Structure 1
């Protein structure tokens, strides 16, 4: 299949794109390259790409594709809270526009990277895909709106599928240290403290980035009737954890580390456990293979091997800090677009 992967140089995309290539697909990337100087190790694989802002994609660019895997967007709650209007513009409006253009271009399959964040504050009960959606952040709400609007585009010739990813973790060529497992492991590695900024009581479903990528591959290759206009919780029902439990796993893996609750830590309003049985029944060969403990071990080894520093951990590997840096340096405007049209292509030294 000829597949367009938006955000292919990001945290998930830099793992997913090579997997699709290995599976024999013809992969083209699309990325605005905000994080091109955020490599962890060798960096993403070089594949043919369109260097363009998602909001500026034209209809001609989508002609001839068999599927679009849509990952690009504002990637988490803190960035969404920093610029909620941009979150809705990029994550919601531009995503719906992309799906609409894809349908017009006769692209038959559209895989959307949604999020379990749209469950928001669901509490102790396990939530299935049919549960009421109650996002508590602009990021989560933007995912809800995309699902709502793109669902209505589905017909005999256009099959969207919504992959509601659990919170990701694991090493990636474009590492993020603003994800809870990556963050707790990194701070423990650097400073010996497994630092909780909340009271640790909230539930969160967790999944390795490689398992997310395998789920996308499965949905890409599945018969149409299996995925047509469906939503799937992507994760493992057994891999729901309280944040405090994650901290204790990190403490058990990282030598001479200890759990510390930050001053003024309170309960996180985001609190949800998910049931991932629908995906595991539909795709028994693509169920997650990683556990959080194994992921922490992988991260610790990667941090040690690559000599992770405090400077990198708290700056270029944190999405909101990178965006703030680009804006303060006059390279991004208030709409999060490159001021110099060639900036994303030529780049600069973050440090």
Structure 2
């Protein structure tokens, strides 16, 4: 199957692409490569690609494609809050436009990387795919809107699926430190403190990026009727943790560290406990391999191997929002977050 992956140079995409290739798929990528200066350790996989913004994809880019895996977008809440209008433009409008082009090009499968952030302020109850949306950030709102709009595009010839990923963790060539487990292990390794900015009570489901990738493969390989116009929470029920429980796992993994709370630590409005039974029952190919303890050890080993420092961790190299702000300050990007040299070359 010929698969187009948007965001293939990102945190999840650089891990997913080799798995798609190993499964025998013909993979092509589209990415604006905003984080080309942020490679962590190992090199980024090389595949045929278009270096372009997701907003600039054309019908011709989708020629001969059987399935689209749509990962690209502004990837977290702080970055989404940087400019909510851009989050709306990139994460929502561009995603829907891509789906319309894919449908026009005859692409049969469209797998959208959604998020459990859709549930937002979900409280203490278990939430399944029928639970109400309650997003609290521009990022979460954008994911909800895309699902709603793609639902209207579904028909006998165009089959979208919505994978609501739990909070990701794990090592990647384009590592992110704004994710809870990655972040807490980095604090512990570089400072000796597991530093919590909330009171530790909120619930958060977590899932390794390899297991997210396995979920996309399982959808890609599933009979159409099993996944057509369906949403799936991606993770395992046992991998719902309170933040303080994740902190305790990190403390047990990184020698000599202690748990500290920020002076203003309080409840986090983002609190949700997610039921992932549907994906386990519907897609038997999806067999997650990771949990928080195994992931914390993987991260600790990687930070040791690379010699991670606090300046790396907190600086603009790996911190998404700081990296973007640095590129803006250096006049590499315009206000719409497009590369300026690309615009000059096109002109």
TM-score range, shorter chain: over 0.9
| Equivalent residue number for residue 110 of structure 1 | 110
| Equivalent residue number for residue 134 of structure 1 | 134
SS at match of 2:27: strand
* 1:2-44: CA deviation from partner (whole Å, max 9, x where unpaired): 0000000100000000100000000001000100111111221
Greater than 3 Å deviation, 4+ residue runs: none
For 1:1-351, what aligned pairs fall within 5 Å after superposition? 1-315=1-315, 316-341=317-342
Give the superposition deviation at 1:284: 2.4
Give the superposition deviation at 1:311: 2.0
TM-score normalised per structure 1:
0.96
| Equivalent residue number for residue 348 of structure 1 | none
Q: Which moved more, 1:190-199 or 1:38-47?
A: 38-47
Give the superposition deviation at 1:299: 0.4
Q: Which moved more, 1:43-52 or 1:306-315?
A: 306-315
Q: Which moved more, 1:304-313 or 1:115-124?
A: 304-313
SS at match of 1:196: strand
For the residues of structure 1 that align with 2:266 and 2:337, how far apart are their CA atoms? 31
SS at match of 2:110: strand
Give the superposition deviation at 1:50: 0.5
For the residues of structure 2 that align with 1:279 and 1:111, how far apart are their CA atoms? 14
Q: Which moved more, 1:333-342 or 1:243-252?
A: 333-342
For the residues of structure 1 that align with 2:223 and 2:186, how far apart are their CA atoms? 40
For the residues of structure 2 that align with 1:194 and 1:100, how far apart are their CA atoms? 45
For the residues of structure 1 that align with 2:221 and 2:298, how far apart are their CA atoms? 29
Give the superposition deviation at 1:342: 7.4
- Give 5+ residue unaligned stretches, structure 1: 345-351
Q: Contact 1:331 / 1:343 at 8 angstroms: preserved in 2?
A: no
SS at match of 2:153: coil
SS at match of 2:34: coil
For the residues of structure 2 that align with 1:259 and 1:249, how far apart are their CA atoms? 11
Give the superposition deviation at 1:194: 0.1
TM-score normalised per structure 2:
0.98
For the residues of structure 2 that align with 1:28 and 1:342, how far apart are their CA atoms? 23
For the residues of structure 2 that align with 1:249 and 1:87, how far apart are their CA atoms? 33
Distance 1:343 1:5, change over 3 A: farther
* 1:78-134: CA deviation from partner (whole Å, max 9, x where unpaired): 101111110000000000000000000000000000000000111111100001101
For the residues of structure 1 that align with 2:322 and 2:344, how far apart are their CA atoms? 18
Give the superposition deviation at 1:268: 0.6
Distance 1:172 1:194, change over 3 A: same
For the residues of structure 2 that align with 1:273 and 1:303, how far apart are their CA atoms? 29
SS at match of 1:204: strand
For the residues of structure 2 that align with 1:57 and 1:235, how far apart are their CA atoms? 31
Q: Which moved more, 1:103-112 or 1:39-48?
A: 39-48
For the residues of structure 2 that align with 1:202 and 1:304, how far apart are their CA atoms? 29
SS at match of 2:196: strand
Cα RMSD (Å) of the superposition? 1.1
Aligned residue pairs total 344
